[in-house]
Chains A and B, each alone.
Chain A
Amino acid sequence: MPVAGVDIGSLSTEVVILEKGKILAGIIVSTGANSKVAAEKAMQMALEKSGLARDNLQYIIATGYGRVSAPFAHEKVTEITCHGRGAFSLDSGVRTVIDIGGQDSKVIRLNSRGKVVDFVMNEKCAAGTGRFLEVMAHALEMDLAEMSRLAPLARKTVTISSMCTVFAESEVVSLIAEGYPREEIVKGIITSIVERTVSMANRVGVEGTLMMTGGVAKNAAIVKALQESLGIKITVPQEPQVVGALGAALLAEEGLEKKEG
């Protein structure tokens, strides 16, 4: 009995189709201006990949900020629960999950059964999130991959003092104008995100295996800096961006079992 999880985030939308715990398809598309259109598109692609028709899906759970207006969902569950569930399914030693997406970052604590026992989320703005990174990369006229590549080359860090994305951007622009090496500015940007994330992690307390999910987990420089700052190893799954959708799909399977009793 195939089921699906849909994670409609501010920047990316994922669909995972699952049957008896086995992943039949995992799709990532960008959300764009219309989250419903993105969800439809990702779903269509996932169905094609798994060779299924819409009617074959027995249960669908939507998550992410777009969950409230998700088409086709039987149930809506927050990213908090879904990322927790997804991460735990990949490694049952996980007790702490850091999810940094496009506009939200959160730290989730799990107990030994994988149940969420505490969480904190960033406050109301893009500071310390993927979007922040993208804006800064744009100001530096480079892409995220180049940012990742440059960071280790820095011998010093330039401090970025503004938390606000808009101010930080103009700060970066003036740092470039003042002639600071780009890798040092990159390091400064990374440090500012890492500091924010670490203080959130400390709020809930880091325990057990720490897994990072969400698109920013693909940013090797951030993961490395976070690791150094927290002093523990961070596990990054093969495809961190779909963990929320995977969690939603797993919850859909459980939901289906319950429904069928």
Chain B
Amino acid sequence: MLDLIKKYMAREKGPDMLRRPAIYSLGQAMVRYNLLKFPYRATAMMVEYGLEQTKKVYNRRLPFVWTSAFFPTELLHAMGIPAFSPEIAAALAASLGFQGNFLREAESRWWGRDNCSFHRCAIGGLFSHYYPLPSAFCASSHLCEGAVLMFGSLARVYHRPFMLLDVPVEQEDDSLNYVIGQLKQIISSLEEITGITLQNGKLQEAVANAEGTRRAMQEINELRRHPYSPLTSREAFSYLYLNFTGLGSRAMLRVYETLARELEERIREKKTPEKPLRFKLLWLHLPPFYRNNILEYLEEKGARVVFEEFNHVYWGAMDVSRPLESIAGRMLSHFSYGHISRRIEIIKELAADYNVDGVIHFSHWGCRQSCGSLRMIRDSLQKEGLPFLVLDGDCIDNRNYAPGQVQTRIDGFLEMLA
């Protein structure tokens, strides 16, 4: 399938192909008839769902929105508005090897190379008509300020509405109500823009899905602590798409419930990693999405990333009878937002829960929120006696990727752990 797309992209047909919903139907059929190989049934389900959603955003008659990574998608699923995540689109482009053209397109229009490449790539994709122009741009202010600026700017360029959910940094008594008020406003703006009205009970349904998903995620995370857990980090990272766009959907709930069952089964059958693990590692922030073998190289050396920071379930139980309050509460509870001590506490907690031997932070060029406080993270981990490796790099832009240099740092780190 990927080869197929690549072949089409290689010819000039590329952009046209991508925008043709039929290609996604074809992909769906291939998944359904098991013509593609996936490590888990859950993965196949996710891909099918992803293709379905993508087909919708390329169907020019239906409204859809661009959402930033941390925007509450429960609202959209309640209303049946598809979400397009530019960060995921960039990751996908990188994994297919298309990112170069998009990045150059954005750069030639003065989007500087110090901007996060997830965004630079998405902008290039939009400018060159690969990515679809949405009915509105929806961003939340927490964590990623780059998305806010980019969405705001694109909204002006394309004369589309820009919706910003302002999540306060400092939590005060009225923070929750402040966010709830905005959620209500966003819902009514979305209704106005798309002509879709939020039906009674739909928000509750979305929150129930989100709550079920939360529990399934917790179950998966718990299963991953098992020494026989077969889920590799590369596989875990492939679910990023759902984490960014799926919360509140029935599909995400089903995928994660399926994954939990499958993991449980495989652990029970002891389909273990063949090689004994020398080291267990915790991964902070994201890995590169272009062709690279970093995670595989670690596995080859007997070191496995047993958990990733981004898979941590940071929010508490969601109350279906109070949907907006639950969503607002989730927004306010992100551990990386606010004082750095929150993130550090969670990192330490995860390191202990997963009994890791070391922590790797992939410092993605241009990401202020994740790289801004490395010194403090390092100092705290060192106090716990936990070795810490900072890998500088870029998740999307591979122009500076030097495999040999990354390998030396990883080798040196593993020698240090030995």
Q: Across the interface, which residues of A come within 8 angstroms of B416, CB to CB?
A: 80-81, 115-119
* Chain A CB within 10 Å, residue with most, of B400, B404, B407, B415: B415
| CB nearest neighbor in B for A204 | B378
> Cβ of A77: which chain B residues have Cβ within 8 Å of it?
411, 415
Kindly identify which residue among B392, B404, B415 contacts A116, using a CB–CB cutoff of 8 Å.
Answer: B415
> Please, how many angstroms separate the alpha-carbon atoms of A117 and B415 in the complex?
10
A37 to B407, CA, bound (A): 23
Q: Which of the residues B402, B407, B412, B415 comes within 8 Å of A124, measured between beta carbons?
A: B402
Q: Are the CB atoms of B404 and A80 closer together than 8 Å?
A: no
Consensus secondary structure, chain A interface: mixed
What 0/1 readout, one digit per residue, does chain A (98-121) give for beta carbons within 8 Å of chain B? 000000000000000001111111
- Is A145 an interface residue, CB under 8 A from the partner? no
Which residue in B392, B400, B408 is a CB contact (below 8 Å) of A78? B408
What CA separation (Å) do A80 and B413 show in the bound complex?
A: 9
Within residues 54 to 85 of chain A, which ones have a CB less than 8 A from any CB in chain B?
65, 68, 76-81
Contact count band on A: 10 to 19
**CB-based contact A80/B387 at 8 Å:** no
Is B387 within 8 A of A117, CB to CB?
yes
Among candidates A65, A79, A117, residue contacting B404 with C-beta atoms closer than 8 Å = A65
* B392 A80 Cβ-Cβ under 8 A: no
B392 partner residues in chain A, CB cutoff 8 A: 123-124
Against A, the Cβ 8 Å flags (1 = close, 0 = not) of B366-402 are: 0000000000000000100001101010000000101
- A121-B408 contact, Cβ under 8 Å, with A78-B415, A80-B415, A116-B416: yes
B415 near A81: Cβ-Cβ < 8 Å: yes
A118-B408 in contact (CB<8A): no
Q: Is the CB of B400 within 8 A of A124?
A: yes
Residue picked from B402, B404, B405, B412, most chain A C-beta under 10 Å: B412
Contact A78 B402 (CB under 8 A): no
Contacts of B409 in A (CB 8 A): 121
User: What residues make up the interface of B, taking CB atoms closer than 8 Å to A?
Assistant: 382, 387-388, 390, 392, 400, 402, 404-405, 407-409, 411-412, 415-416
Separation of A68 and B407 alpha carbons in the complex (Å) = 10
A-B pairs under 8 A by CB, number = 42
In the complex, 22 of the A-B residue pairs with CB atoms within 8 angstroms, ordered by the A residue number, are A77-B411, A77-B415, A78-B408, A78-B415, A80-B411, A80-B412, A80-B415, A81-B412, A81-B415, A81-B416, A115-B416, A117-B416, A118-B388, A118-B416, A119-B416, A120-B390, A121-B405, A121-B408, A121-B409, A123-B392, A124-B400, A124-B402
- Could you say which residues of chain B place their CB within 8 Å of the CB of A68? 404, 407
Shortest Cβ distance from residue B407 to the other chain A in the assembled complex, whole angstroms = 8
Q: How far, in whole Å, are A116 and B414 apart by their CA atoms in the complex? A: 11
A76 / chain B contacts, CB cutoff of 8 Å: 411
Question: What is the CA–CA distance of A123 and B406 in the complex, to the nearest angstrom?
Answer: 10
Do residues A116 and B412 form an inter-chain contact, with CB atoms below 8 A?
yes
**A40-66 contact mask (Cβ, 8 Å, vs B): 1 or 0:** 000000000000000000000000010
Cα A178 to Cα B409 with chains together (Å): 42
Least Cβ distance of B173 to chain A in Å?
A: 41
- In the assembled complex, the Cα of A118 lies from the Cα of B400 at a distance in Å of 24
Bound Cα distance A121, B402 (Å): 14
Neighbouring B residues of A121 by C-beta, 8 Å: 405, 408-409
Q: 17 more A-B contacts (CB under 8 A) besides A80-B412, A80-B416, A81-B415?
A: A65-B408, A76-B411, A77-B415, A79-B412, A80-B411, A80-B415, A81-B412, A81-B416, A115-B416, A116-B416, A117-B416, A118-B387, A119-B416, A121-B405, A123-B392, A124-B392, A124-B405
- Measured between C-beta atoms, what is the minimum distance from B100 to chain A in Å? 19
Contacts of A123 in B (CB 8 A): 392
CA distance A7 to B390 in the complex (A): 25
Nearest Cβ in chain A — how far from B381, in angstroms?
11
Query: Ordered nearest first, which 7 A-B pairs have the shortest CB separation?
Result: A80-B412, A78-B412, A81-B415, A78-B411, A116-B416, A78-B408, A123-B392
Question: Which residue on A lies nearest to B390, using beta carbons?
Answer: A120
Rounded to whole angstroms, the CA-CA distance of A95 and B306 in the bound complex is 32
- Contact partner of B408 (CB less than 8 A), chosen from A79, A116, A117, A120, is A79
